[in-house]
Amino acid sequence: MNELKLSKRLETVAEAIPFGSTLADIGSDHAYLPIYCKLNGIVRFAIAGEVVEGPFQTAKNQVERLNLQNSVEVRRGDGLEVIQPGEVEVVTICGMGGALITSILESGKHKLDGVKRIILQPNIMAINIRKWLIENNWALLQEFILEEDGKIYEVLVAEKGNSIHSYTSGNLETELLLGPFLMQDKSEVFIKKWTSEKKNWERVLSELQGAKSSEEVQAKQEEIKNLIRIVEEAIF
CATH number, domain at 82?
Answer: 3.40.50.150
Q: Is the pLDDT of residue 60 over 80?
A: yes
Q: Give me the sheet containing 43-50, strands edge to edge.
A: 72-76, 43-50, 21-26, 90-96, 117-122, 151-160, 138-148
Whether residue 178 lies inside any domain: the answer is no
Whether residue 183 lies inside any domain: the answer is no
pTM: predicted TM-score of the whole model, two decimal places = 0.94
Pair (143, 194) in one structural domain: no
What residues make up the domain containing 91? Answer: 8-167
Pair (116, 22) in one structural domain: yes
Whether residue 116 lies inside any domain: the answer is yes
Whether residue 177 lies inside any domain: the answer is no
CA-to-CA separations, 207 to 125, 128, 136, 218, 226, in angstroms, rounded: 22, 26, 38, 12, 17
**pLDDT for 214:** 84
Pair (130, 206) in one structural domain: no
**With bands split at pLDDT 50, 70 and 90, how would you rate the model's confidence at 235?**
confident
- Per-residue HEC secondary structure of 130-168 comes to HHHHHHCCEEEEEEEEEEECCEEEEEEEEEECCHHHHCC
Pair (129, 63) in one structural domain: yes
Whether residue 3 lies inside any domain: the answer is no
Burial state string for 129-151 with b = 16 or more CB within 10 A and e = fewer than 16: bbebbbeeebbbbebbbbeeeee
Pair (138, 228) in one structural domain: no
Pair (92, 150) in one structural domain: yes
Query: Which one-letter amino acid corresponds to residue 229?
Result: R
Q: Is the pLDDT of residue 169 over 90?
A: no
**pLDDT for 217:** 83
Pair (85, 136) in one structural domain: yes
Residues 189, 153: Cα–Cα separation, whole Å: 9
**pLDDT for 1:** 58
Pair (201, 158) in one structural domain: no
Q: Is the pLDDT of residue 198 over 70?
A: yes
How many structural domains are present in the chain? 2
Whether residue 194 lies inside any domain: the answer is yes
Pair (163, 194) in one structural domain: no
Pair (141, 223) in one structural domain: no
CA-to-CA separations, 166 to 28, 33, 60, 154, 184, in angstroms, rounded: 29, 27, 39, 16, 12
Q: Is the pLDDT of residue 4 over 80?
A: no
Pair (135, 193) in one structural domain: no
Pair (156, 194) in one structural domain: no
